[in-house]
């Protein structure tokens, strides 16, 4: 069977299954099986399924995924995230402290948790009602918290960077390190958006916030867990002391200590953290198995190589290839969530990036920002619905969408900066 028949058939079946509501992991398997049966009989295909699942989950680096998820859940279920936000907005004596504090808290949370949705849910659950109560514009409030959660994906550790490294066989440690400077720049850009919004609409930010300030001791112990855990994870990876998996394990132990002694973590909340982690990993486990089978069929028929060969014949420049790939992700990101996109599309498109001559680590950062854009673009922008769900009837989904537009522009500008100056991402990874 010709490769292009398989490619069209795989894509067509996948879109069909997704459109009728089949969960993505099962849609991947359902799209793969008809073509798997053209090269294997039924019994052999069952064995292939088992081997693909086993090959996926014996990867040592994958053990870091449940550890980072568990770490984020511990912070979310304790009040460490709430204290971090309070330290920011009650400890900064300037107008707009709650807005700046929300971005700061999201960035701080991103230094220990790699999930955008968990970041928006944790900080947004605390900050949104407070900002509305203080008199902040609802669109500004929603935009800050929906976009702020994306900082958790770029500032290491990051689950998307982790999955990118696994799929493309790129150093996880270097990907994490490469995200630091772009993450800091993006945080500053988000701060600037609040400042510009305040200048353009003076009523968007209350002139005076009737809040009780906190003392230095409160601020110190609010920042202590995030700083310690973040430094342990990043420094241990950067200096080669520990692998990402080992760093995640150490981070979990330290986070459990802080969550109990400083975050008021109870046994019930700890159990909730474990169950939430198991639920997340249950989905990811099936998704990884389905994507492994899908990838096996794609590789067997040589689809990535054929696409790369035909693109090469078109004689496009490297930046034209990059532009086409970015447009593809802008469009598909409106309909798929980032983890699914990573496992479905990267095995096919990454060879194009290699052919064009871009560095894998650099593209990993660009790709992660594209995934940040995906969670902020309707109709399936996860962070949009997380914030709207927290707000309930106080804020409509349209308000959330309008609120994130300036932050989407900042994300696009960040990609432009990385294209014009790749060293922003690569500087810290140089030997």
284 pLDDT higher than 80? no
- What pLDDT, in 10s, does the model give residues 169-209? 888 888 988 998 999 999 999 999 999 998 888 888 887 76
Q: What is the rounded average pLDDT for all residues in the chain?
A: 84
Rounding to the nearest 10 degrees, give the CA dihedral for residues 194, 403, 150, 358: -90
Measure the CA–CA gap between 88 and 218, rounded to whole angstroms: 11
407 pLDDT higher than 90? yes
Are 85 and 101 a contacting pair, CB within 8 Å? Answer: yes
The predicted structure's pLDDT at residue 316: 84
- What pLDDT, in 10s, does the model give residues 120-172? 777 777 788 888 888 888 899 889 888 888 887 888 888 888 889 888 888 88
The predicted structure's pLDDT at residue 210: 63
Higher pLDDT, 40 or 262: 262
The predicted structure's pLDDT at residue 191: 92
Q: Residues 357-376: what's their mean pLDDT?
A: 91
The predicted structure's pLDDT at residue 55: 67
Are 113 and 154 a contacting pair, CB within 8 Å? Answer: no
What does DSSP assign to residue 136?
-
342 pLDDT higher than 80? yes
Strand spans (E) along 14-140: none
Measure the CA–CA gap between 353 and 319, rounded to whole angstroms: 10
Residue 252: pLDDT band (50, 70, 90) is very high
Whether residue 157 is preceded by a cis peptide bond, meaning omega within 30 degrees of 0, is: yes
Among the listed residues 382, 289, 406, 285, the one whose alpha carbon sits nearest the alpha carbon of residue 333: 382
Interhelix angle for 338-356 vs 267-300, to 10°? 40
Alpha-helical (H) ranges within 201-266 are: 216-238, 244-261
Are 24 and 290 a contacting pair, CB within 8 Å? Answer: yes
Are 387 and 394 a contacting pair, CB within 8 Å? Answer: no
Measure the CA–CA gap between 130 and 369, rounded to whole angstroms: 28
Among the listed residues 238, 246, 247, 229, the one whose alpha carbon sits nearest the alpha carbon of residue 173: 238
Greatest mean pLDDT range, 116-130, 151-165, 253-267, 277-291: 253-267
Secondary-structure breakdown of the chain: helix, strand, coil percentages, each rounded to the nearest 5: 80, 0, 20
**358-382 burial code (b ≥16 CB/10 A, e <16):** bbbbbbbbbbbbbbbbbbbbeeebb
- What pLDDT, in 10s, does the model give residues 201-230? 888 888 776 667 777 888 888 888 888 888
CA 183 to chain centre: 12
- What pLDDT, in 10s, does the model give residues 26-78? 888 888 888 878 877 767 766 766 776 676 666 667 778 888 888 888 887 88
Are 123 and 85 a contacting pair, CB within 8 Å? Answer: yes
The predicted structure's pLDDT at residue 368: 92
Are 236 and 246 a contacting pair, CB within 8 Å? Answer: yes
The predicted structure's pLDDT at residue 431: 66
- Angle made by CA atoms 73, 371, 81, in degrees to the nearest 5: 25
The pTM of the full predicted model, rounded to 2 decimals, is: 0.86
The predicted structure's pLDDT at residue 417: 96
Measure the CA–CA gap between 355 and 155, rounded to whole angstroms: 28
Among the listed residues 141, 124, 123, 122, the one whose alpha carbon sits nearest the alpha carbon of residue 206: 141
């Amino acid at each position: 069977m010709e490769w292009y028949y398989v490619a069209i058939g795989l894509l067509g079946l996948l879109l069909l299954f997704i459109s009728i509501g089949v969960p993505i992991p099962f849609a991947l398997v359902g799209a793969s099986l008809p073509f798997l049966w053209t090269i294997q009989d039924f019994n052999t295909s069952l064995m292939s399924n088992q081997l693909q699942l086993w090959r996926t989950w014996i990867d040592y680096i994958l053990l870091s995924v449940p550890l980072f998820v568990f770490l984020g859940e511990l912070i979310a279920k304790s009040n460490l995230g709430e204290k971090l936000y309070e330290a920011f907005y009650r400890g900064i004596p300037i107008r707009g402290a709650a807005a700046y504090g929300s971005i700061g808290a999201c960035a701080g949370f991103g230094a220990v948790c790699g999930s955008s949705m968990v970041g928006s849910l944790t900080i947004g659950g605390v900050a949104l009602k407070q900002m509305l109560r203080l008199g902040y514009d609802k669109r500004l409030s929603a935009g800050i918290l929906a976009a702020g959660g994306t900082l958790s994906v770029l500032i290491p550790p990051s689950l998307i960077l982790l999955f990118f490294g696994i799929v493309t066989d790129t150093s996880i440690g270097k990907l994490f390190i490469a995200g630091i400077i772009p993450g800091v720049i993006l945080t500053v850009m988000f701060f600037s958006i609040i400042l510009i919004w305040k200048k353009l609409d003076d009523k968007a930010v209350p002139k005076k916030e009737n809040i009780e300030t906190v003392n230095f001791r409160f601020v110190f112990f609010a920042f202590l867990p995030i700083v310690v855990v973040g430094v342990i994870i990043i420094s241990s990876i950067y200096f080669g002391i520990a692998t990402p998996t080992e760093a995640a394990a150490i981070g979990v132990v330290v986070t459990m200590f802080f969550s109990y002694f400083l975050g008021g973590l109870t046994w019930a909340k700890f159990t909730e953290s474990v169950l939430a982690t198991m639920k997340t990993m249950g989905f990811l486990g099936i998704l990884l198995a389905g994507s492994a089978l899908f990838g096996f069929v794609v590789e067997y028929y040589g689809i990535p190589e054929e696409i790369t060969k035909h693109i090469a014949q078109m004689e496009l420049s490297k930046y034209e290839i990059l532009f086409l790939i970015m447009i593809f992700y802008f469009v598909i990101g409106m309909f798929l969530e980032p983890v699914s996109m990573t496992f479905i599309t990267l095995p096919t498109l990454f060879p194009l990036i290699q052919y064009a001559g871009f560095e894998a680590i650099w593209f990993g950062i660009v790709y992660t920002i594209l995934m940040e854009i995906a969670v902020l673009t309707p109709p399936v922008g996860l962070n949009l619905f997380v914030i709207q769900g927290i707000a309930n009837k106080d804020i409509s989904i349209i308000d959330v969408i309008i609120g994130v537009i300036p932050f989407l522009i900042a994300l696009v500008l960040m990609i432009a900066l990385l294209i014009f100056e790749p060293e922003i991402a690569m500087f810290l990874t140089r030997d």
